[in-house]
Structure 1
Amino acid sequence: MLKLAMARQQPQAAESGRRSQRLMHHSQLFYRDSVLRPGWGVLLFLLVLIAAIATQTLILVRFAHLRDTPHTLLTPRDCLANGIMAIAVTVATWVLSTQVERRFADYGFRAPHPLRNLLGGALAGLALLSALVLLLHQLGLLVFRGQVLFGAALQWRLALEWIGFYALAAFVEESLAHGYLQHTLTRGFAWLLRHYFAATSGVRGGFWIAAALLSTVFALLHQINGGETPLGLLNAALFALLMAFSLWRTGSLWWAFGYHAAWDWAQSFLWGVPNSGTLTRDHLFLTEPTGSALRSGGSAGPEGSLYTLGALLAGFGILMLLHPRRVYPDLWDEAARDSDETGKLLPDSDRTTARS
C-alpha cells in the first residue's frame, strides 16, 4: 500500500514542479529580482496616460457648451483637463513605484532643499525669459503695443491665477518627461549598456539616452500647437534637455518645476508673447513680433527665435555654477548589484568618479 501511495504521489509532485517552473518563467518575464522590468513599467505608465487622455477628451466634450467670460482665466474645461492629467501622473507614478520597491518621492520629488530649488528655478526662468524678450525689443524684433490690463486688483488676481495654472502645467509636463519615465528608462538603458556594451555602470549613458529620447518626444508633441515652427521645436527639445540637466545636477524636479512655470508665465501673462505658438487671452502687455521670423520667433513666440539658444545655454551655465556636481538619486547601487552575472560589485572608486 505504501509503495502504491508513493507511486501515485510521484506524478503529482512532477506536475506540481512543472507548474511551479511555468509560474516562475512567467514571473521572470515581468519581474527581475522581484522588481518590475523597465519595459513593462514604461508600457503600463503609458497605458494609464492613454486612459487619462481618453477621459480628458470625454470631459472636454461634455463641457464644450461653456463659454469664456471677460477676465475669467479658467473655465471648468481648463481646470479639469489639467487636473485629470495631474492626478493620472501622480497615481501612475505611485502605483508603479510599489512594483520596484521605491518610494513616490524617488521619482524627482526627494530633495534636501525643495523650496530653495523651486524658487531658484523660478527666478532663473523669469529672468532669462524677460532678458530674451527685452533683447528682442532692443533689436527691433518685438514691438510693445502697450499695457492692456488695468487695475491693481484685476492684475494681481489674474497674475496669481496664471501662476497656479502654469505651476500645475509644469508639474504635469515635468513629471511626465522627467519623473517615472526618465528614471525607468535610465534603469533599462543602463542595464543594456552594462550587459551588451561593457559599460562600468551605464547610469550616465542610460540617463542621457533616456533624456534625449524624452526630449525629442516632448518637442514633437509641441507640433499640436498651430503656430509652432521647426526652430521652435528644436528649442523645445533643448528646453527639455535643460530640465533633464537640472534633474541630473540638483537630484530632483523642483528646480525644473520653478523654471518651467516661470518661463511660461512670463511669456503668456507678463509679456503677452506666444507660448510655443499659443497666445493666451489675459496678459499684462500686448506685443507683436516684427522682422525675420528666424530671429523674432514669428508665430511661435520668443521660443522660436535663434536668440533663445543663448537664453537656454545661460540656464545650463547657471546650473553648472550653482550645482557643480551630479546629485541625481543613486542608481549606482542598483548597477553594482547586477553589473556582473557573477555578482561582483562595482568598486566604490568607480562610483565616486562617476559622480563628477
Structure 2
Amino acid sequence: MSAFRERLAASLEARRAQHLYRQRLVLESPQGPLVRLGGRELLNFCSNDYLGLAAHPRLVEALQQGARDYGVGSGASHLVCGHSRAHQQLEEALAAFTGRPRALLFGSGFAANTAALAVLLQPGDTVLQDRLNHASLLDGGLHSGARLSRFPHNDLDALARKLGRLSGPALVVVDGVFSMDGDVAPLAPLAALCQQHDAWLMVDDAHGFGVLGQRGAGSLEAAGLGGSEVPVLMATLGKALGCGGAFVAGSDELIEALIQFARNYVYSTAMPPALAVAGRAALQLLSDEPWRREYLLQLIARFRRGAAQLGLPLAEVGGPIQPLMIGDAARALALSEALRQRGVLVGAIRPPTVPAGTARLRITLTAGHSEQQVDQLLGALEQAGAARHAA
C-alpha cells in the first residue's frame, strides 16, 4: 500500500510546486452577487449563475413544493421506480422549449455527454472534436471506442480537410459557448459542413442555454438552427437556470437508445423529483422575465467599456464569460488573491483546465449584479494592477 501513498503524495506535491493545486471554497451563503466566505462578504464574479436564478424565490418555493409532493430522494433509477411525474413533465417541457421530439434528464452535464457519446459511437466510427471542448466531451470520445480526432479551435477549414479524408460514420462535437474562453462556435457553417459530409453534429450548450437566443433557448436558437441540422443537443440546468442536472434533446430514436443503452442513465439513481419541479419553474422564468438576458447584456457592455479604459486585453467575446488572460499560473493566482483582499471573488483558471501557458482570470457577470458592483470590480482590477499582470 505504501506505493499508492507515495505515488499520490508525489503527484500532489508536483501540482503544488507548479502553482496548479486547487482548493475548494466553502460558501456560507446562497449563490448570488454577494457571497459569504470565511465570515466575510465578497462580491462574486466567478459563478455560472448567469441569470441570477439560483436563489430566486420562485425556484426556492418550487423546490419546497416539490419536496412536499414527492419527498427528497427519488429512491431508484429511472428504469426501476425512480421516474416521477415531475421528471416526465420537465422532460416534456424541455423538448417543447428546444423544439425537439423528446428530451432525457441526467444528473449532470458530464454524465449526459459521456452517455450520448457512448451510445452514438462504435469502434470504426470517427468523432471529431474542437480542441477546446469540455473535458466531458473529450472523455466521452476517448472511452467510446471510436477514433478521436481533434481540430484547431473553431477552424472550419481544418475540420473540412479531416471530414474529406474520412469514410464511415462521423460525429462532430463542439461546445456552443466555450466555458473557459467565452466565445461561441460557428454553428451555422459547422452544421452546413456536417450536412455536406453526411456527418452528425452534437452541441454541448451548457453555457449558452438560457442566455443566448431570443427566448433564451441557447446557441442553436441564436444561430437559427433546429433539430435537422443539429441532431444531438445537450444542455445543463445548473448554470443559467440556477438548478441542477442536465438533459439531452433529440429524436425519438436517440432518446429511446439512451434509455436502453446509456449506462450512466440505466445504472444511476434519478435526480430528486423536487429538483425537476424547480427546473420547470426556472424554464418558466425564462419566458416570464426576459429582462434578465437584456440587462445582462448591458452589464457585459459596461464591463467591457471599463476594461478597455483600463487597458485590459479582453478577448472579443460578448457573453457573460470574460476571460482576462495572464499566462503564468503563479501570476494568475497572485492577481486573484489581490482581488479577494479588495473584496472581489474571481477564480484563477490554470492548467489542466486550460492549455499550458494560458492561465487566466475567468470573470463572469450575472443578471444579479448591479451597475455599481460592475464598477466596483473594475476599480478592484485597477487597484490590483491587473493591466500589469495581463498577457
Q: What TM-score bracket applies, with the shorter chain setting the length?
A: under 0.3
Q: TM-score, length-normalised on structure 1?
A: 0.23
Q: TM-score, length-normalised on structure 2?
A: 0.21
Q: Larger Rg: 1 or 2?
A: 1
- Between Structure 1 and Structure 2, the one with more strand by share is 2
- Between Structure 1 and Structure 2, the one with more helix by share is 1
